[in-house]
Amino acid sequence: EAGVAQSPRYKIIEKRQSVAFWCNPISGHATLYWYQQILGQGPKLLIQFQNNGVVDDSQLPKDRFSAERLKGVDSTLKIQPAKLEDSAVYLCASSLDSPRPRGETQYFGPGTRLLVL
Amino acid sequence: AQSVTQLDSQVPVFEEAPVELRCNYSSSVSVYLFWYVQYPNQGLQLLLKYLSGSTLVKGINGFEAEFNKSQTSFHLRKPSVHISDTAEYFCAVIATSGTYKYIFGTGTRLKVLA
């Protein structure tokens, strides 16, 4: 089966510009996650969707970050305006919905590497 | 709230030697535990997970981990490493109830030397 797709793979922008990332999860996966991974750190959850509803966005900087998941499939993550500290890899992951969703394996995409100058 | 501590940021080891990567967690409720591996310029891939049952969990690529509730640990082991095991390894935890959020450790970079 096809894995989690993300685009673009790399992006370089100047501070105060806007940027958008796209994610297509594995077919049939109800849960979708966006993580921010700063160099030398572990992934930090930004937002989690269950179908097209938000489960958790407590760590999403809502003054500049936004995310949506239309029709419960694809998702986009936007940053507007970008800051230098947003330089990171943005990972998208998806997992099945099951009777024990917390124990489900997350399948990660290759990530989008963002550099803000 | 949960937290994860990976005590070693880097672990160098010679090829065919055994290795242990340490992970400790903190939580006031029961948790599920995971180990993921990240190869350069790739996303994370599940190595193994502990949900319930036997505390010794076997995963892919010859890795195994043991859940120790009294020591709140979930250390990853491999009896004989290969050059291809060079990667970053992340321990992660999620509570079985309450806050539905995965928490990842800061990672351990395993460097296998020829």
Per the structure block, which two tokens stand in for B18? 């055994």
Return the pLDDT at A71: 82
CB proximity B51 to A under 8 Å = yes
List all residues of chain A from 26 to 85 with a beta carbon under 8 Å from chain B.
33, 40-45, 48, 55-56, 58
Return the pLDDT at B101: 84
Q: What count of other Cβ atoms lies within 10 Å of the Cβ of residue A54?
A: 13
Helices vs strands, H then E, count in chain A: 0, 11
CB proximity B7 to A under 8 Å = no
CB proximity A93 to B under 8 Å = yes
pLDDT at B97 over 90: no
A33, A56, A102: residue with CB nearest B32: A102
List CB contacts (< 8 A) between B99 and chain A.
Answer: 56
| Mean pLDDT confidence for A41-61 | 91
CB spacing of A108 vs B102 below 8 angstroms: no
A42, A45, A103: residue with CB nearest B106: A42
Return the pLDDT at A99: 60
* Cβ atoms of residues B58 and B46 within 8 Å: no
CB proximity B32 to A under 8 Å = yes
| A4-15 pLDDT, tens digit each | 999 999 999 999
| B9-43 pLDDT, tens digit each | 999 999 999 999 999 999 988 899 999 999 988 88
Return the pLDDT at A1: 64
How far is B52 from B54, CA to CA, in rounded Å? 7
Distance from CA of A24 to the nearest CA of B (A): 14
CB spacing of A105 vs B46 below 8 angstroms: yes
Return the pLDDT at A98: 67
Strands (E), B6-104: 10-14, 19-21, 24-26, 31-38, 44-50, 56-58, 64-68, 73-78, 87-95, 103-104
Distance from CA of B42 to the nearest CA of A (A): 5
CB spacing of A111 vs B102 below 8 angstroms: no
Higher pLDDT, A52 or A59: A59
Q: How far is CA A36 from the centre of its chain?
A: 7
CB spacing of A100 vs B51 below 8 angstroms: yes
Mean pLDDT rounded to a whole number for chain A: 92
| B52-87 pLDDT, tens digit each | 889 999 999 999 999 999 999 999 999 999 999 999
CA dihedral B25, B27, B30, B31 (to 10 degrees): -40
Residue showing tokens 């990530």: A111
Helices vs strands, H then E, count in chain B: 0, 12
The CA-based diameter of chain A, rounded to the nearest angstrom, is 45
* Cβ atoms of residues B87 and B107 within 8 Å: no
Contacts of A52 (CB under 8 A, 6+ apart): A69, A70, A71, A72
| A72-110 pLDDT, tens digit each | 899 999 999 999 999 999 999 999 876 667 788 999 999
The three-state secondary structure class of B81 is coil
Return the pLDDT at A46: 96
Whole-Å CA distances, A11 to A6, A87, A111 = 12, 10, 11
CB spacing of B101 vs A100 below 8 angstroms: no
How far is B48 from B90, CA to CA, in rounded Å? 11
Per the structure block, which two tokens stand in for B81? 């490493």
Higher pLDDT, B98 or B81: B81
Distance from CA of B81 to the nearest CA of A (A): 23
